[in-house]
Amino acid sequence: MEYSNPEIPEGINTSTQHPLKEFFLLMGGILGIVIAAVVVLTLLADRLAVYIPFELEMQLATRVTDGLPAVEVESPPIENYLNGLADKIAAAQELPPEMQITVHYVDDDLVNAFATLGGHLFMFRGLLEKLPHENAVAMVLAHEIAHIKHRHPIRSMGRGVIFGLAITMVSSTLGNAMTDQVLSNAGGLTVLKFTRDQETEADQTALNSLYQLYGHVEGADLLFEVLEQGNGGEQLQMPEFFSTHPLSENRINHIHAFQAEHAAAATADVALLPDEYAKWLIPAIEGETATSSTLKN
């Protein structure tokens, strides 16, 4: 066999395309997929947020230091009482074991209460002073615990959090930074806005849990009557957690309708507060303990 060494044609190992073109096309495709995934996540954030493990939500909550009211290191008696009542309500609402509720008492005359990420619930003295029996207090707690049960806090800030978690998949540093920005923006945990549908859902869950606990919902409407009547002719400062709620009159009517459907227990007596409850609420004024007359019922 005769061996021949043919001449190699010119241009056989070259291309008319720039060598980086395919690289940029590949990177562009990957980037497009990531952007599309993020867009889908943000659009579906409200639905997807409920699938975020509650343990992760608790971790997110611990990363926030601004915007939360200061709480005492040693729990005061009122806080122990509120947490005990919250535990009963959480059991009635059948919260899963990992969904722990922690009630923080805030010694401030602001008429307010709110639930936030990680099962944290803040109750202000200003509101508690106006609720003369346990059923009204339980209505506030049950409503806020219902927000936590239905994952309303994480859903209300879901887009930013979900977006940050998605970016974390690509860059943990950037993703964590974005999530922290969402959580800390303007004291984010204290300015959560729930939709009216969420508020109605929380109200219904609260009524069901109160009925299970007490056998009736007598006294639950007092909370909204207080907000409508004001204090001494002055309009009460609307609590943050009522800012997007249905009108108080509608909510009172809803409670009365619930009572009508459970007429056998509608006239039941309300539960009294502990004997020392008033003393627990009385704030210190210029180093002296205020008298019971300072309570606003």
| Range ranked top by mean pLDDT from 43-47, 91-95, 109-113 | 91-95
pLDDT at residue 161, rounded to an integer: 62
Q: Which are the contacts of 180, defined by CB distance < 8 A and separation ≥ 6?
A: 63, 164
If pLDDT is split at 50, 70 and 90, which confidence band does 232 have? very low
pLDDT at residue 276, rounded to an integer: 95
Helix H or strand E encompassing 102:
strand 102-106
HSE-CB at 55 with a 13 A cutoff on CA atoms is: 2
Cα–Cα distance measured from residue 105 to residue 124, given in angstroms and rounded to the nearest whole number: 6
Tokens of 90: 């959480």
If pLDDT is split at 50, 70 and 90, which confidence band does 86 have? very high
pLDDT at residue 150, rounded to an integer: 95
pLDDT at residue 40, rounded to an integer: 65
Cα–Cα distance measured from residue 226 to residue 114, given in angstroms and rounded to the nearest whole number: 17
pTM (2 decimals)? 0.72
pLDDT digits (tens, 9 = 90+) for 100-141: 999 999 998 888 889 988 899 999 999 999 999 999 999 999
Cα–Cα distance measured from residue 265 to residue 147, given in angstroms and rounded to the nearest whole number: 26
- Which of these, 58, 61, 137, 66, lies nearest to 98 by C-alpha position? 58
Cα–Cα distance measured from residue 217 to residue 219, given in angstroms and rounded to the nearest whole number: 6
Mean pLDDT, residues 94-103: 94
Lowest-confidence range among 26-35, 192-201, 232-241?
232-241
In this structure, the strands spanning 120-124 and 102-106 are parallel
pLDDT at residue 292, rounded to an integer: 35
**pLDDT above 80 (res 65):** no
| Range ranked top by mean pLDDT from 28-42, 44-58, 153-167 | 44-58
pLDDT digits (tens, 9 = 90+) for 165-199: 555 544 455 445 555 555 555 344 555 678 888 88
Helix H or strand E encompassing 250:
helix 248-261
